[in-house]
Structures are given as structure tokens and as C-alpha cells.
Structure 1
Amino acid sequence: MGALRKAAFALASAAAAAVLAVAGFVWADTAYPPPLPTRMTVSAEVVDRDGALLRAFATPDGRWRLAVDLDQVDTRFIDMLIAYEDKRFWDHKGIDPLALLRAAGQFAGNGRIVSGGSTLSMQLARLIEPRQSRSFGAKFRQIFRAVQIERRLSKDEILERYLTLAPYGGNLEGIRAASLAYFGKEPRRLSLSESALLVALPQLPERRRPDRSPQGAEKARARVLARMASAGIVDHLEAERAAAEEPAALRRPLPALAAHAAYAALRNTPSKMRHRLTIRKRVQEGLETVAREAAARLGPRLSVAMVLADSRTGEILGAVGSADFFDAGRSGWIDMTRIVRSPGSTLKPFIYGLAIEEGLVAQETIIADRPADFAGYRPRNFDMSYQGDVTVRQALQLSLNVPAISLLDAVGPARLTARFRQAGVDLQLPRGEAPGLAIGLGGAGVSLRDLVQLYTGLANGGRARALRDGSEPDGAVRPDGVGTVLSEAATWQVADMLAGVKPPEGVAPRGIAYKTGTSYGYRDAWSVGFDGRYVLGVWVGRPDAGTAPGLSGYVSAAPILFAAFAKSGLAAVALPGAPPGTFKPTRDQLPVTMHRFARGSDGLIAIKPTEPAPRIVFPPEGAHIDLGAATASGASPLVLKLQGGRAPFRWLANGKPLAELVRRRTATWMPDGAGTSTLTVIDAAGRAASVKVFVE
């Protein structure tokens, strides 16, 4: 009986002790919670449109510590880490009694610590609360913290925090920073050899750094591989091959692309730790390489800026603000894509487009390139020579100044700048000064970004897109922001002319339309080109606006344009075909009033039409025509009717002339088959109207 009472008393005492222990732990757990911030201090990241790292910034304490998710890490690395460091990780609650007993036995038998018996939870506890010594008290505190951590975090969260904070040598912390620095890749792409090295590094990071202690790194990696082979996690032959590989012998810098856009993103939204840009990493790498190599050829103090955008969306896929962000000699910290400079002749295509849109000229219209006086303004060509009579097409392709100013004088500078404002771009003029003819030759200010925005209209059927790169504050740029700069027909005519500009010598053709420009005093060289989707603008010059003798758009900037397009990795997109109702008439097909454009001093005046523009009234837009009824025996061809316009008129069906010029406002057409057809009429002033009909 006495023995039973003693056993019961012992059991009750044990139960009471257990209750007290649990109560004590609960009290201690509440009174002394672990330092687990809901948001770890990590490096700010700037990533591209697909999530690839463009640039990272060190933490305030100078560490490279990149946030990591488990799905960003190779699964075999995770398996190896757990097998090597904490094989019962998924089962224990923070401590592994078997591992602790093994460590204690090894300590007793060897008189020194052979293995610590620490779980990954205990190691995380040490990382978030570094111990001051390797005492038993510090170990018990670590065990307590590990249990606390397990009560608050899931196993995946524990792994993610460990892989974010683990030391990998120097100021590298976390698997992503280590993988990028030692192997130049994200941890999802680690090889077996690389995974083994990164499993071993956190235990003795300074002694095993592959860039400073390659032998120590090789031995540690071999131990990990041997244990993995013994545990059956990897094949023995595979482990032997991995052990035979040379370990990484250098530490690479972390990606440092798109400096200006990255700093702008941090400046505009400093609270965010991950900034996603519209930039595409491969494109950005290509553009920066071209800019760096071009600047080296151009010489000191000259820099290069580029913007490559998708004309359909306005998204910037690559932006280079300077040839080298850290080059003080070139003022590399200045983002030259945003600095307002003289655009030279790069605005001329819009002058020609507006003149074509208003029916003043066509591509084959003759225009004079001779000395001229525009109320005291006397433009001269870049080479100080004159070509005499040329076609409008030749005048634009040769970038002749007098023809461009003649057309600008006819359409009006205010009308041109109004079109620019519709596209979201305001030219910078001297305070209080109205737009004058000089804007046609660069007598106004515009940034490279704004110039590319204007050219998105030429690549996008006349509708410009507001540019954005993702660094802007939320709501600063409307994704659907568009504006019409030219009509679709005039846009195609301009693009067709620019597509015929000869590429620079020694440059492979690309199938792009492009224009160059040089500002007064050889301060800025420009080249802007586009295909059926992408627009690329290039600026070359001195950031301090100093003169650079010999600098020109064709010689200095155009070769960079073609090289950057080639290096971007983007597949060329063919320029679009002529829109319905638009064609390129030969000189013989031109209305008499469009044979020649001239000013009053030449005896010929370009008179703007006063009649309403032509309008097809029959058949109406979208009409369905019964082919059988129209072509039955004895039936007459379909009668076409129009209102307005100036005679004579030329009718076209699907871009092909129906007959000679006619002065009447009626014509006839015999459909030659079923399907959709586009009927177009062009009057003597070059104005056109079109309807689309369906022949059945």
C-alpha cells in the first residue's frame, strides 16, 4: 500500500511538474517573444517585366540580402540542405532530441564539439538573435527560441527565412545573393555541384568562400556530395562528376542594369522593396553593351542615350540614360533620355505628314530646294549646297531644309505643335515665344523620351502612345494614353519614304524606317527608327551641351541605332502595308495641282482647297452588293456617286485605278469577284475618301 502511495505521489509530482513546466513555457513564450519581424529587412530589388533581376540595392547595414520564396530555389538543393543539416526537419517541433543526444555523446567521447545537433529552426534562431558565446546557456536560449519559432511559423516560412538570412561569405546573405554572386544565376537553376557548395558554405562561410579559399570550398563540397550519395539522395557517379568540377573562383557583381530607371523607381515609391519595370532584361543588356562600346569609340566626354519602346502599348523595353552611370567624365549620373535638347531635323517627318494629310503634296510632287527667304528667315542645308528641283520623297530622305520649311510655312507651325500636344508632347520654346518656322530645323526643345513617343505614332498608324517604364508613381501615366499625331494614310506615306533612307555605310539593312538629326553647333546627334512595332531613339552628345565638331546624326547616331536594334534580340516586325484607300501614285497619276509645290517667289502657289472634302454617298459604308444581280445580262455596272471635292477625280477599287481622271461626280464599277472590296476616290487636292463594301 505504501509503495502504491509513493508511486501515485511520484506520478502526481511529475504531472504537476509538467503542468508547471508548460505554464512556465507559456508565460515565458508570452513574456519574451522571439524577434520575428513580420517584414525582414532585405535588399530593394528592381526586376524586369518577367521578374528577372535588373538591379539590387544593399540593405542599410551594407548587406546583400535578397528576399526568397521556396519556389525560386532548386528542389534538389532543398532536399540536400535538409538531409545534411536537419534530416528530421519536417517532423520535429524545433529541436531534434536524437541529434542533441548524438552531439552530446560525441562531445563526451572526443572532448570537443564534433557536431552541434542544431536544427534549421535553431540555426534560424541564432541568425535572428546572434549569440555572444558558445556557452550552454546560449544553447538553451537557442532551443527555447527554436520552439517559439515553430509555434509561430510554418515549416516553409522557416526555410524561407533561413535561406534569406544564412551567411555565405563577406556581405552576402541568403541563397539568392550567394547564387548570383558566385554563379551568376538564380538558385532555381543550380547544378548539383553548385548546390553542394551552397549547402556547405553557411557553416564556415569565410573559410569556405570559393573566391578566397577554393581548396576549403572544394573539400566542403566533397563532404556534402559524399553524404548525399551515402543517403541515396544523389547517384554515386553523379556525385563523383560533381566533385570533379572546378569550383567558382570569383565573386561576380550582382546585376546592375537600368540604373536611371531603377533609381527613379526607388525615388518615386521608396516604401516598396520590389519594383517591376516594363523593361526586358535581354533588351536592356544589349542596349547597354552597344552604348558602352559606342562611347568608347566616340571619345571622352561624349555620352549615348537610348530608348526602345513598343509602339502598340507605350511600354519601354530598354532605356539607357548614359553610357556609364559611374563615369564622371561623361556625367553618367544624368539621365539624358529626359533632358531637353534641340532635336535637329528629327521633326521633319511630321511636317511632311501634315502636308500630305492636307493634300498639299504627294511623294512624287516636285518641290524646290533653292535659297529662300521666309520673312527674314533663310534656312540652309547641312552641307551648305542645294539640290534644285527634287521630289517630296527625295527631299525628306535627303533631309533638305528649304523644302521642309516651305511645307511648314504652308501648314503652319502652330498646327504642327498642336498635333504634338495631341500626342502628349509639348515642345519647349523660349518663354512667351510662339511657334515659328525654326522648329522645323530644331529650334525648340524636346527630350529623347518625348521624341520616341512622337515616333510611336509613325509606327502605330498615326496614334502615339504615352511612354512608361514602370518607375513612375502609381497613376502618373495612363496605360491607354493615346493621341493622334497624323492620319493613318499620311502616316503610311511618311513611313514609306523613311523606309527608303539608305543605311549608314557598313551597316546591315534591318527593314526599318528612320530619320536622323543634328542640332546647331554639333551639340546633339539623333537617330530615331521604327519597324512595324518597335521604336528606338538614339541621342549622342555631351551632357554639358558642349560642341563636338564632326558630330552628326547620320555618322554618329545612325550606326548606333542599327547596332542597338540588332543587339536587342527583338525579332524584326515588317512595316505595315498601305491602309485601305491609300496608294502611292506615280507622277503621271497625280492631279495637276499636285505636280509641283512652290512658293509665290517661284510663280506657283500651293492653294489650299476651299471645297468640302470628297465623300462617297453611294454605295454606303458596309453595303452588301449582289454580284449576280449586278452582272446579269443587260444589267449596268454599279454606279458610284460622291459629294464635295475638287475635280478631276480618280477612282480606285482595292488600290487599282478604275479609269482615267473624270470631272463628273459619278462613275461606274463592275466587280470582278465576290468578297470585300475597298472603293476610294481622290480629288484634285489629293484628298481621299473610302468605303468598304461586300460583294456577294
Structure 2
Amino acid sequence: MKRLAPFAMIAALLGGAAARDAVDDWVARTELPVTAVQHSTEVRDRNGDLLRVYTVADGLWRLPVSLDQVDPKFIDMLIAYEDHRFARHKGVDPVAAARAALQALGNGRVISGGSTLTMQVARLLEDGTTGRWAGKLRQVRVALALERRLSKPEILSLYLSLAPYGGNIEGIRAASLTYFGKEPKRLTTAEASLLVALPQAPEARRPDRHHPRAVQAQQRVLNRMVEAGVISDEAWAAALSDPLPSARRPFPALAPHLTDAKRSETPESQRLHLTLDATIQASLESLATDTLRHQQDELSIAILAAEVKTGRIIASVGSKGYAPGRGQGFVDMTRALRSPGSTLKPLVYAMAFDQGLAHPETLIDDRPVSFGRYSPQNFDGRFRGELKIADALRQSLNIPVVLLTDEIGPQRLVGALRRAGTTPVIPGGKPGLAVSLGGVGITLRDLVQLYAGLANGGQAVALHSSAEPTHGPQIVSRAAAWQVGHILSGMTPPPGAPSGRLAYKTGTSYGHRDAWAIGFDGAHVIGVWIGRPDGTPVPGAFGGDTAAPVLFDAFQRLKPELEILPPPPPETLLVNAALLPQPLKRFSGRNAVFQPDSDAPKLAFPPNGARLTLTDTGVVVKLRDGAPPFTVLANGAPVLTGNRAREVALPGVGKGFVTLSVIDAKGRSDRVNIRVD
């Protein structure tokens, strides 16, 4: 009976009217398989290049494809090799079917299948068998039904999507990308012939596992094509000498953290378009890997690059590698809350300029100060005395910025951060003066957005990777933003970095947990973070030494030359210190009338709260500023009068708690409380 089945099929297809009517009714009642094929989600960059491809639910790489996305040469070769009467038959080729049936009858087994491309599509849609007659009959029925309901181009597109190419590769686009690293729009004759040959025996002919078999199968296709006149003798000879790949290429998996986030936002989308640039993204991912190659495994890194004017994100690197492990590469550190260290200082200075508290040429006193129990210290514990505001920012001194923050108000500083579009997290909910030194939780993405606003003339810019550009409110004035950018552009580049007018700021959080560097030129802004995702300290990590070189390297990879910063707005006050209005010559603060003169006498040593050991020479004190002669008192009693020396040992000071006071010739004074053991 099995040997008579092909003859029954042919008789039905070629028989009289009654037989044809029966076949028509049989085909009309066919329940077709689902023809809506599930395809891999594609994420593309601003130029249409692939950033990321996701497998479908069963782990297959299967990309959507249309005929205009495939080289016509491949289509011609495929039809000539597989089904040269494809354009004329209605799903089954009677001539090929008769030949296959007669061969099977004469040999007692299937010699050639006689399957059309439509029949192969029917089998692929149902994942059916190829050799058994029951399966073959089902393919015939589905193929005839498909031809009634779909056009030839639609059927061919289904084949191009579903044809197996070995392993978990399905479809011409996935095959072309994995074997040749390119889309199938432009294929060489050698490439096209291999892709024609593979689906007949995808596992046995995989070039990455069975290279000799792949070569033999490709040569059979080439021989048939030259015999059929599809390719020329010259093309045949060239294809034979063209080497075939011996390994699979990985599919693009760039910006994994960002693409995962975007895909989760619109899981039903087949194709996502982002503002990223695949070339720059790959380069900065390589930079991240190279930076930490010989560092502790626990370290991670994040880099974010964006356009100043539009907020479009060009590259987003969330970690050194997208994998679990001690470096927690699966954590997107562009969105992790961290302490920003000194990176908020430029905003404080810009706000001070706007409020008329200071000018870049204003002098400010870097000296010991206390605000209740809070006594800020510079990073190195030293004091610089009187210096220009611009120099205080470039040197990233803590005391001047806290003095300014006290005048501005921490709440106003947090308000400015929110106007910039950031979402700062305040420990305890109430901001204090330490906010300007990093006492706030903020993300790298938020910091880059803040600096984009400063670079954009003080107007907030919303960072985005897929939406339309949107601009927010004014954070600070154009003049204040320009002044801060001008100051930061005078920062000395890291050793070995190219010189250029890059406005940048570094930061190191408390305990060396976070190293930052953020900078901008006339068109782009880039932020870099280095640290441990779990927040443990990284001894020796400083923003200037660790993150700043990466920032400059990132700009070099972004473009060959930095773009100049814009000129100052016409309302900018550009004068030297001598021509400043009197209130701007020196920063004094709102309580200046109650404060001592800046040149009043000061007990430079011992510092307030010090604990000293009594020696034979007595307690040594060091005086700074003031007009001699000086009188020094211990617990209100004079122990030294008429003194003009700036360093002197005090006689008669006993053990216990002692209040030391100094009075100069103008009656101005200073005092400290110490303990003598």
C-alpha cells in the first residue's frame, strides 16, 4: 500500500473532473498551521545598525525578513536548485512528484523527495517529517492550501524566515549574520551557494563543525547553477576559490543593560530603534573592559555619553561585562544610586554667581569653620587661606563650597538638582550642608543630565535613548553656566591625556567608594564612574587618578577633536578682581557684620579641641594674621604680653582643660579650647 501511495496522489492531482473536485474540497477543508512566525526582537542604533538581537522563546535565532532584504542572486539560485517551476505550480510540482514516486517504486525507497518550496514551508510550519508518506501527504495538502491563501512572495518569505541552517539558526538573515557577519542584502556567489545548500542537511553540513561536507554541498550547488546558466563560468571559478567560514560569529549584544530595559518597556515590539551609535558603543565597552583588565575582580565601571543640545544618549556602558560574578556585571551602574563626591560643586558655584554672592574673581577665605557640630575639612586637611573662587573650584576645596552652600541654602541646591531633571535621594529626607560634598544619593545618568544642562547654557536637557528631545527649565543663568564651564575648562588634563578645552570635574566619595569624572565640550557630555557595586571602599581610588584618564580616552574614541565651548553670553560680567564691585571683591556672607575681619588674629595651633602633652618648654602656640603686639591668655589670665613672635611657648599653663585666647593691637581676638595632659 505504501508503494502505491504516490500513484494515488498523482492520479488525484492529474485525474479527471471528479477527482479534481474531490481534491478541491479536500484542500478547502484544510486547517492551516499558524503562519504568523515568531521572530527575534531586534534593537537598532541611530544608523539602523544592529545593537542587540534576542532569541525567540525556544532559544532560536530567527529574524524577520522580506524579499527586498535578500540578494536577488540568492533567490535565483535557491529557486533554480530547489524548485525551478516555483512560479508556475500551485504548491505541488506534478512532474517532480511523478519522478520521485517512480524512483521510489523502482528502488523500494525514497530517492528524491520532489518537494516544492511551498511543501518545505508546510513542513517547517508544522515541524513535520520528510520521509513518511503520511507526512508527505500532509505537506501536499497544506502546500496546496497555502498557495490558495498566500502569494508566492509571501510563501517565499516564510521559507526565508524558517529554513534551518544548523544549531539554533533559522532563516536567511540569522544565517548570514552568524556565518558571514553581514545582512543577506549583498552576498557573494560563494556565500549564496552555501546558504542554498545548508537547509537540506543543516546539521551534517554546518561549516563550523563539518567544514569538508559544507564545501562539498556548496560545490554541488555551484555545479548545478553553472549548468543551469544561473551563474557564469567566471563566477563559478571565483566562488570555488572563495574560502568558507569555519566558525560562527556571535550576534550583536551591545548595550545589554539599556536594551534589556527598553525591551521590558515594550515587550511586544519586534524592532526597537535607539539613539545609540553601535560603533561608539562597542568602542566604549572595549574601553571599560581594558580599563579594568588587570584590576580587582570586584571593580566595575560605567560610562555614559550624550549630546548636549538634544540629550540623545550615544553610548551607555553599565558595567565591565554583562555577567554575574564578583564584579556584579548584571547591575547597571549608570542607574545605581551613589555618592557624587565633589561633582555637585560646579552647580553650587553657578548658583552663587546667580545670587550675586560671588564672581569667579571674588576672593574667599579657605580657613577652619564650624557650623554647629559640623566642621568641614578639605580633602588633604590643609587650608589655603585667601584665594579666588575660580581657583577654589579648580582645586575642589571643600570649605569654600560649604560656605557658599550655607548662604544659598541646601534646600535650594536640591531644588536646582530637581530642576535639572535629576532625582536626588536625601539621607534622612532633610538636606544639610554636606549635600554639596556628596551627602546625597544620585545616579551617573542624573549627573550626566545635570552637566548636559550646564553645557546647554544652563537649561535642563532630558537624557533619552528613544524619545524625542525635550528641554526643561533653566537651572542657572546662561552667564553662570558659561562661567562654570570656563573655569572647568582650565583644569589640567590627566598625565598623558591630550590637551584641549574639555570642561571637566572629578569626584571621590567618602571612603573611596566612588571615583567620578564628568566633562563636556561644545557638543557632547560624558560621565565615568568606577567603584564596587556593593559600595565597599576601593583604597587608593581617586576621581582624578582613576576616572579622569578614562574620560579623556572616551572623548578621543568619540571623535578626533574636541569641539570648542560657546562664547560667553553678552550679559556675562568679564572683569578682573580690581574692577569688581566692592561687595564682590571678597566673599563675606550674610552674617559678615557679626564676623571678625578676615585679617583678625587666629590661633593656628593648637586647633580647637586638640589634646596636647605638657612638655618642659610649655604649650607651644602659633599665631596667624592680626596686628602685633599680641596678648595671650590662659583661662582668662594673661600669660604673655607685648609679644610680636608668631610662634611661642607659653609658660605657666597647667594640666587639664584650658581656654587659650589671643588679642592683637586692634583689640581683635580668637580663642580655642584644648586639653593638656
TM range (shorter): 0.7 to 0.9
Q: CA deviation at 1:510?
A: 4.9
Matched, 1:274 2:264: no
In structure 1, list runs of 5 or more residues that go unmatched: 1-13, 471-476, 606-696
Q: CA deviation at 1:481?
A: 4.8
Match of 2:455 in 1: 459
CA distance in 2, matches of 1:110, 1:97: 20
Q: Does the Cα contact within 8 Å between 1:282 and 1:569 map onto a contact in 2?
A: no
Matched, 1:54 2:44: no
CA distance in 2, matches of 1:385, 1:313: 42
Structure 1 residues 191, 368: CA separation in 2 closer, same or farther (over 3 Å shift)?
A: farther
Once the two structures are superposed, the pairs formed by residues 197-276 of structure 1 within 5 Å of their partners are: 197-276=194-273
| Residue number among 408, 421, 427 corresponding to 1:424 in the alignment | 421
Once the two structures are superposed, the pairs formed by residues 236-635 of structure 1 within 5 Å of their partners are: 236-433=233-430, 435-470=431-466, 479-569=469-559, 572-582=562-572, 584-599=574-589, 600=592, 601=595, 603=597
Q: CA deviation at 1:356?
A: 1.3
Q: CA deviation at 1:602?
A: 5.6
Q: Does the Cα contact within 8 Å between 1:417 and 1:427 map onto a contact in 2?
A: yes
From the CA coordinates, give the structure whose radius of gyration is larger.
2
Match of 1:613 in 2: none
Secondary structure at the counterpart of residue 352 of structure 1: helix
Structure 1 residues 133, 419: CA separation in 2 closer, same or farther (over 3 Å shift)?
A: closer
Structure 1 residues 346, 66: CA separation in 2 closer, same or farther (over 3 Å shift)?
A: same
CA distance in 2, matches of 1:604, 1:369: 11
Q: Does the Cα contact within 8 Å between 1:307 and 1:319 map onto a contact in 2?
A: yes
Q: Does the Cα contact within 8 Å between 1:284 and 1:318 map onto a contact in 2?
A: yes
Q: Please give the TM-score of this superposition, normalised by the length of structure 1.
A: 0.79
Structure 1 residues 329, 190: CA separation in 2 closer, same or farther (over 3 Å shift)?
A: farther
Secondary structure at the counterpart of residue 511 of structure 2: coil
CA distance in 2, matches of 1:210, 1:16: 42
RMSD (CA atoms):
2.5
Look up the equivalent residue of 2:160 and give its one-letter code.
L
CA distance in 2, matches of 1:440, 1:380: 13
Q: CA deviation at 1:149?
A: 1.0
Q: Does the Cα contact within 8 Å between 2:13 and 2:23 map onto a contact in 1?
A: no
Q: CA deviation at 1:240?
A: 1.5
CA distance in 2, matches of 1:58, 1:478: 29
Q: Please give the TM-score of this superposition, normalised by the length of structure 2.
A: 0.81
Structure 1 residues 385, 231: CA separation in 2 closer, same or farther (over 3 Å shift)?
A: farther
Look up the equivalent residue of 1:32 and give its one-letter code.
T
Matched, 1:164 2:161: yes
The more displaced of 176-185 and 196-205 is 176-185
Look up the equivalent residue of 2:203 and give its one-letter code.
E
Q: Does the Cα contact within 8 Å between 2:87 and 2:152 map onto a contact in 1?
A: yes
C-alpha distance after superposition, 1:364-411 (max 9, x if no partner): 222222222233322222222233222222111111111211222222
CA distance in 2, matches of 1:425, 1:346: 14
Look up the equivalent residue of 1:302 and give its one-letter code.
L
Secondary structure at the counterpart of residue 415 of structure 2: helix
CA distance in 1, matches of 2:260, 2:478: 38
C-alpha distance after superposition, 1:627-648 (max 9, x if no partner): xxxxxxxxxxxxxxxxxxxxxx
Q: CA deviation at 1:163?
A: 1.1
Structure 1 residues 478, 194: CA separation in 2 closer, same or farther (over 3 Å shift)?
A: closer
Look up the equivalent residue of 1:444 and give its one-letter code.
V
Q: CA deviation at 1:519?
A: 0.4
C-alpha distance after superposition, 1:231-255 (max 9, x if no partner): 3333322332222122111112211
CA distance in 1, matches of 2:236, 2:588: 82
Look up the equivalent residue of 1:267 and give its one-letter code.
S
CA distance in 1, matches of 2:70, 2:13: 45
Secondary structure at the counterpart of residue 320 of structure 2: coil
Match of 2:646 in 1: none
Q: CA deviation at 1:548?
A: 0.7
Look up the equivalent residue of 2:496 and give its one-letter code.
G
The more displaced of 149-158 and 210-219 is 149-158
Structure 1 residues 33, 481: CA separation in 2 closer, same or farther (over 3 Å shift)?
A: farther
CA distance in 1, matches of 2:575, 2:528: 33
Count of residue pairs brought into register by the alignment: 584
Look up the equivalent residue of 2:335 and give its one-letter code.
R
Secondary structure at the counterpart of residue 124 of structure 1: helix
CA distance in 2, matches of 1:22, 1:115: 25
CA distance in 1, matches of 2:564, 2:264: 38
Structure 1 residues 571, 82: CA separation in 2 closer, same or farther (over 3 Å shift)?
A: farther
Secondary structure at the counterpart of residue 597 of structure 1: coil
CA distance in 2, matches of 1:368, 1:20: 107
Look up the equivalent residue of 1:515 and give its one-letter code.
K
The more displaced of 257-266 and 45-54 is 45-54
Once the two structures are superposed, the pairs formed by residues 89-104 of structure 1 within 5 Å of their partners are: 89-104=86-101
Look up the equivalent residue of 2:333 and give its one-letter code.
M
CA distance in 2, matches of 1:451, 1:500: 20
CA distance in 1, matches of 2:425, 2:525: 22
Q: Does the Cα contact within 8 Å between 1:179 and 1:187 map onto a contact in 2?
A: yes
CA distance in 2, matches of 1:586, 1:16: 101
Match of 1:129 in 2: 126
Look up the equivalent residue of 1:31 and give its one-letter code.
R
Q: Does the Cα contact within 8 Å between 1:334 and 1:543 map onto a contact in 2?
A: yes
Match of 1:629 in 2: none
Structure 1 residues 16, 161: CA separation in 2 closer, same or farther (over 3 Å shift)?
A: closer
Secondary structure at the counterpart of residue 215 of structure 2: helix
Q: Does the Cα contact within 8 Å between 2:13 and 2:19 map onto a contact in 1?
A: no
Q: Does the Cα contact within 8 Å between 1:453 and 1:466 map onto a contact in 2?
A: yes
CA distance in 2, matches of 1:520, 1:443: 9
Matched, 1:151 2:148: yes
Q: Does the Cα contact within 8 Å between 1:456 and 1:535 map onto a contact in 2?
A: yes
Secondary structure at the counterpart of residue 198 of structure 2: helix
Q: Does the Cα contact within 8 Å between 2:494 and 2:545 map onto a contact in 1?
A: yes
Secondary structure at the counterpart of residue 190 of structure 1: coil
Structure 1 residues 526, 127: CA separation in 2 closer, same or farther (over 3 Å shift)?
A: same
Look up the equivalent residue of 2:254 and give its one-letter code.
L
Matched, 1:32 2:49: no
CA distance in 2, matches of 1:16, 1:421: 78
Q: Does the Cα contact within 8 Å between 1:286 and 1:569 map onto a contact in 2?
A: no
Q: Does the Cα contact within 8 Å between 2:350 and 2:481 map onto a contact in 1?
A: yes
C-alpha distance after superposition, 1:490-541 (max 9, x if no partner): 1111111111111111122354211110000000111111122221111111
C-alpha distance after superposition, 1:212-240 (max 9, x if no partner): 01111112222222333333333322332
Look up the equivalent residue of 1:233 and give its one-letter code.
V
Q: Percent identity?
A: 48
Secondary structure at the counterpart of residue 149 of structure 1: helix
Look up the equivalent residue of 2:289 and give its one-letter code.
R
C-alpha distance after superposition, 1:274-295 (max 9, x if no partner): 3332222112111211111112
CA distance in 2, matches of 1:273, 1:162: 19
CA distance in 2, matches of 1:506, 1:537: 19
Structure 1 residues 380, 249: CA separation in 2 closer, same or farther (over 3 Å shift)?
A: same
Q: CA deviation at 1:131?
A: 3.0
| Residue number among 176, 181, 191 corresponding to 2:178 in the alignment | 181
Match of 1:627 in 2: none
Q: Does the Cα contact within 8 Å between 1:363 and 1:584 map onto a contact in 2?
A: no
Match of 1:73 in 2: 70
Q: CA deviation at 1:58?
A: 2.2
CA distance in 2, matches of 1:384, 1:30: 89
CA distance in 2, matches of 1:79, 1:545: 60
Look up the equivalent residue of 1:450 and give its one-letter code.
D
Q: CA deviation at 1:115?
A: 3.8
Structure 1 residues 568, 117: CA separation in 2 closer, same or farther (over 3 Å shift)?
A: farther
Structure 1 residues 576, 505: CA separation in 2 closer, same or farther (over 3 Å shift)?
A: same
